[in-house]
Amino acid sequence: MLVHVEYQTDEKLNWLVSEFDVLEHADREKGYVAMLVEPESYERLLDEGFAVEIQHGPTEELANVISGFRSIGGYACYRTVEETATTMSTLNTDYSDLVELVDMGDSWNKVTPGGASGYDIAGMIVTNENIAGPKPRFFLMGSIHAREYAPAELAIRFAEQMVTDYGTDPDATWLLDNFELHVLPHANPDGRKIAEQGYTQRKNRNTSKGWCSYPPTSYSQHGVDLNRNHSFKFGGAGSSSSSCNLTYRKSSASEPETQALQTYMSSIFADQRGPDDSDAAPDDTTGLMITLHSYSPLVLFPWSWSASGAPNLAELRTLGRKFGYHNGYPVCQTPVCLYAASGTTDDWAYGTLGVAAFTFELGDSFFQSCATFESTIEPDNIAALRDAFKAARRPYQTPAGPDAVSVAVSASPVTAGTSVTLTANVDDTRYDSNGWGSEATQNIAAARYTVDQASWSGATLNAMAATDGTFNSTVEGVTATIDTTGWAVGRYLLMVEGQDADGNWGAPSAVFLDVQ
């Protein structure tokens, strides 16, 4: 059954998290948390004195799904582990200059003899390999919790879109020319194969504790919760030492999947933060990671282990509110709006390396309907992920600046020698926490464009003027006249950026100009 359980204190909430299958869905104001329970657990909650409300509609939906072994029947929009690997291999073949396959490590089954064959922790790097680096990096991973269908699919779709849009979409083009996208759709492939059969498997496939339930239940299942197994702040609140519990942590970084993640992220991101909890990463830190989960629409940022603010709290919150503008999700710190969790992936990435790290909780179901995924979750979050990719070079600086949107040229293609008008809107208001505070906005102070090169790579900077003659509001139309005399025949990329009154330059947006 899916139930809402009322709690009166944080101590009781933490106890619930350590004892039951508590979901990433809670209402702090109303004082309840969502849980999956079997009849035995339901009776135990009542015996412990908790008020428990059965959610009959979602419970009926779960009953229709959890009916034994099968493929992902009724969920044609979600690729299996094998189908995802095939997609990545096909992209690598068809777009060899843009896609490189990467084996980050092995699953528990694969490193453990005598059982199932297991899987590679398989991902890919997406960038224009003809342009040398080093380049800023965005690491996107999905479905570390096996039963969460939507995250893996969103990750692979985002990567697919970036690859297939290269050369036709201006933003995809400059991003892959200048940045690297590292994608891991299935961070827990062994567990995912169980979930694909209709079970609510959360953990990996570690069966070293042989007395747990199989098939898995909401109160007992084999495995380790990989999102409680990371070595940073391991073993604290929101994790369990009971091997069959769904938040079982085992020992620090004990699992091959966790080791693969930590090793890989350490190989692509420099350590940019000091050793103390109070050490902030520098303003010019590079690198960003997002781990995709479901369900409960939320954008979460560190710390997860403690309600105290992370040293880069203001910067993390600003970037999170950029995401919230697109997906409409509440943007908040995990223990403040949900509950504390220790040994998590995002805390490890930020705490160990200093990179900006976030968790997206997608939608309103583990087994999210394809109709909802494709009409809402995918388009809203693809836009947020594009903003994340744009912020990867300076995640603690760029999001404070305004967005350049609606970038356009008056004509394209044009004959060399023609004057072309470049226009855009520069907007410093595109933030939304969806109920968790407001972001200060500033008037636009300046705008500029570059041709074929990013502003930070030595390009010539060309000023743009306010369309109404004065920079004096938080949203400004901007314009420039471009004389193409002497331009060779070909396609040019015009990148527009805006600056606010506090001196913050935002991320570029681009348009193509074809000269013939």
What confidence tens digit (pLDDT) does each residue in 189-220 have? Answer: 999 999 999 899 999 999 998 789 999 988 89
**Neighbouring C-beta atoms of residue 458, cutoff 10 Å:** 9
Query: Distance (Å, rounded) from C-alpha 83 to C-alpha 504?
Result: 43
Task: Write out the two tokens for 332.
Answer: 């908040």
Q: Is residue 74 part of a domain?
A: no
β strands within 376-489, DSSP E = 403-409, 419-427, 444-451, 462-466, 475-483
Q: Is residue 47 part of a domain?
A: yes
Residue located via tokens 């398989």:
122
Residue 47's CB: how many other CB atoms inside 10 A? 8
Specify whether the CB–CB gap between 478 and 426 falls below 8 A.
Answer: yes
Question: Does the CA dihedral 34-36-42-48 come out positive or negative?
Answer: negative
Report whether 281 contacts 312 (CB < 8 A): yes
SS (H, E, C) 408-439: EECCCCECCCCEEEEEEEEECCCCCCCCCCCC
414 lies in the same domain as 359:
no
∠ Cα 198 123 363 (to 5°)? 45
Regarding whether 93 and 198 lie in a shared domain, the answer is yes
Of 398, 425, 445, which closes a domain?
398
- Indicate whether 54 and 180 sit together in one domain: no
The low-confidence residues of the chain, meaning pLDDT below 70, are 62-71, 73
- Residue whose token pair is 């935002």: 506
Encoded tokens for 171: 């933003």
Q: Are residues 240 and 332 in the same domain?
A: yes
pLDDT of residue 68: 40
Query: Which residues are marked as active site?
Result: 361
Tell me which residue range forms the domain holding 19.
Answer: 2-65
Structural domain total, the chain: 3
Both structure tokens of 368 = 């999210």
- Per the listing, tokens 């849009």 go with 165
| Residue 76 falls inside a structural domain | no
Q: 121 with 198, same domain?
A: yes
**71 belongs to a structural domain:** no
What CATH number is associated with residue 340? 3.40.630.10
Burial profile 423-438: b = 16 or more Cβ within 10 angstroms, e = fewer: bbbbbbebbbbbebee
Distance CA 243, CA 208 (A): 9
**Do 323 and 459 fall into the same domain?**
no
Is there a contact between 356 and 312 (Cβ–Cβ < 8 Å)? Answer: yes
Residues 6+ apart with CB under 8 A from 26: 13, 32, 33, 34, 296, 337, 338, 339
- Other beta carbons within 10 angstroms of residue 439's beta carbon come to 21
Q: Are 413 and 473 in contact (CB under 8 A)?
A: no
Domain membership of residue 313 (yes or no) is: yes
So what's the pLDDT on residue 63? 66
Residue partners of 458: CB distance under 8 A and separation at least 6 = none
pLDDT of residue 56: 87
Of 18, 39, 65, the residue that ends a domain is 65
For residues 100 and 114, the answer to whether their CB atoms sit within 8 Å is no
Same domain for 466 and 369? no
Assess whether 208 and 302 both reside in one domain: yes
Task: Tell whether 15 and 154 lie within a shared domain.
Answer: no
User: d(Cα 80, Cα 464) in Å, to the nearest integer?
Assistant: 48
**509 and 438 in one domain?**
yes
| Cβ neighbours, 10 Å, residue 164 | 15
End residue of a domain, out of 366, 398, 430 = 398
Residue 73 lies in a domain: no
Same domain, 103 and 164: yes
Q: Please report whether residue 128 resides in a domain.
A: yes
Could you tell me if 326 and 405 lie in one domain?
Answer: no
For the chain, state the CA radius of gyration.
Answer: 24
75, part of any domain: no
Q: Which two tokens stand for residue 354?
A: 């200093």
pLDDT of residue 30: 86
Instruction: Give the CATH number of the domain where residue 482 resides.
Output: 2.60.40.770
Question: If we measure between CA atoms, which residue out of 299, 309, 256 comes closest to residue 109?
Answer: 256
